[in-house]
């Protein structure tokens, strides 16, 4: 039996902080085990990718427990922030870094050079890199000039799901994203306000504790704008509760300023739910096209509430548009990758790193 050691954030299964990256890690670990691989998980505490002494200590302890010559799959939020820990281990361990989000793409103001230097050092020393979209692979090449053969794309999979029935009016809107500045909930609210004269309701599912100050400001903004009874922020949902939310939705709305892929896009499409999202990063890949070339949704420029509002009005007012997008979403769902497909790519990369 082959073996892989996997370094993941300590809160990977925390229902209060669900994320696409955590879901990806968990699904790949399960599928690797189902393929007969012995998966040794090492949860690492810390506020990754922020650097702190406790996180580095936890990572050092995890690395000490891994034997020489082992293959290690590392979540990039941890790995790319810790070159001091990982680069010296590159000769001892075959490191494969899973980049959910290139840290150097949108680094904090004033920290770009340091963030990119750390990420570059880790990725250059790795045996291989896995990322979740062709866009991300291109971005890593732009930032770090990594050899093309070292960076592999393993698109996130989806689980089987029943079709959402949808409503004739199409007025049940769903946003699934942590309430943080990067997900653009403030832009979403302004876009929704542009269609205030039309009937709709929007449920925003996502963590309210990742950036509490921003989450509070968004909820106050909704109330001040007269949307408090139409936009709900009930917090994160997982498992059956999330499934019910998708089943009740007519349209997924996502106003992100950046997305490496956008797993919620394919989760919606897996249920035949069309998408209104910003044209950023890997979102166009996730949205894709139906087999007849039709997009199963609408893309607008990021940070543009007017464009978002215009697209939303089109969806709500045009019966024919809703029918076309629903038909495209239902046809697109058949071509979405499943988690065994994703894991087959990751397993192939790990096998190469083992040699």
Q: What are the pLDDT digits (tens) for 44-92?
A: 999 899 888 889 999 999 999 999 999 999 999 999 999 999 999 999 9
Q: What are the pLDDT digits (tens) for 136-152?
A: 999 999 999 998 889 99
Can you give the pLDDT at residue 36?
97
The rounded percent of the chain whose pLDDT value lies above 70 is 100
Can you give the pLDDT at residue 148?
80
Mean pLDDT, residues 203-212 taken together: 95
Q: What are the pLDDT digits (tens) for 170-187?
A: 999 999 999 999 999 999
What confidence tier does 224 reach under pLDDT thresholds 50, 70, 90? very high
Please name the residues in contact with 86: beta carbons below 8 A apart, sequence gap of 6 or more: 63, 74, 79, 95, 122, 125
Task: Confirm or reject CATH 3.40.50.2000 for domain 3-157+337-354, answering yes or no.
Answer: yes
Tokens of 68: 């020489």
Q: What are the pLDDT digits (tens) for 114-128?
A: 999 999 999 999 999
Tokens of 124: 């250059």
Mean pLDDT, residues 93-119 taken together: 96
Q: What are the pLDDT digits (tens) for 186-199?
A: 999 999 999 999 99
Find the length of the chain: 355
- The two beta strands, 201-205 and 128-131, are unpaired
Choosing among 3.40.30.10, 3.90.600.10, 3.40.50.2000, 3.30.470.30, the CATH entry for 172-335 is 3.40.50.2000
Alpha-carbon Rg for the chain in angstroms: 21
What confidence tier does 16 reach under pLDDT thresholds 50, 70, 90? confident
Backbone φ and ψ for 206, nearest 5 degrees, come out as: 165, 160
DSSP string over 77-115? HHHTT-HHHHGGGTTTSEEEEEESS-TTTSPPTT-HHHH
Reduce the DSSP state of residue 214 to 3 states and report it: helix
What confidence tier does 341 reach under pLDDT thresholds 50, 70, 90? very high
Q: Where in the chain is the domain with CATH 3.40.50.2000?
A: 3-157+337-354, 172-335
- What does the mean pLDDT of the chain come to? 96
Task: Kindly tell me if the per-residue pLDDT of 1 is higher than 80.
Answer: no
């Amino acid at each position: 039996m082959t073996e892989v050691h996997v370094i993941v954030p300590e809160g990977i299964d925390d229902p209060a902080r669900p994320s696409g990256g955590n879901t990806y890690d968990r699904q790949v670990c399960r599928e690797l085990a189902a393929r007969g691989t012995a998966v040794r998980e090492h949860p690492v505490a810390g506020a990754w990718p922020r650097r702190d002494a406790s996180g580095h200590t936890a990572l050092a302890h995890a690395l000490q427990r891994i034997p020489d010559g082992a293959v290690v799959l590392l979540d990039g939020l941890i790995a790319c922030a810790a070159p001091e820990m990982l680069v010296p281990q590159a000769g001892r361990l075959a490191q494969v870094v899973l980049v959910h989000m290139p840290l150097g793409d949108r680094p904090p103001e004033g920290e770009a050079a340091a963030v990119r230097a750390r990420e570059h050092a880790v990725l250059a020393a790795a045996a291989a890199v896995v990322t979740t979209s062709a866009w991300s692979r291109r971005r890593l090449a732009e930032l770090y000039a990594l050899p093309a053969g070292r960076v592999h794309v393993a698109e996130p999979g989806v689980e089987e799901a029943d079709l959402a029935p949808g409503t004739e009016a199409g007025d049940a809107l769903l946003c699934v994203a942590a309430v943080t500045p990067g997900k653009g909930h403030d832009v979403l609210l302004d876009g929704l306000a542009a269609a205030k004269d039309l009937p709709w309701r929007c449920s925003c599912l996502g963590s309210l504790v990742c950036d509490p100050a921003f989450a509070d400001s968004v909820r106050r903004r909704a109330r001040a704008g007269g949307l408090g009874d139409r936009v709900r922020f009930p917090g994160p949902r997982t498992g059956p509760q999330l499934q019910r939310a998708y089943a009740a939705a007519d349209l997924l709305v996502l106003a992100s300023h950046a997305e490496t892929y956008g797993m919620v896009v394919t989760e919606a499409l897996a249920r035949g739910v069309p998408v209104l999202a910003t044209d950023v990063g890997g979102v166009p890949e996730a949205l894709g096209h139906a087999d007849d070339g039709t997009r199963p949704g609408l893309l607008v420029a990021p940070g543009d509430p007017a464009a978002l509002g215009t697209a939303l009005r089109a969806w709500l007012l045009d019966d024919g548009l809703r029918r076309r997008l629903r038909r495209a979403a239902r046809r697109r769902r058949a071509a979405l990758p499943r988690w065994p497909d994703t894991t087959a790519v990751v397993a192939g990369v790990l096998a190469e790193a083992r040699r």
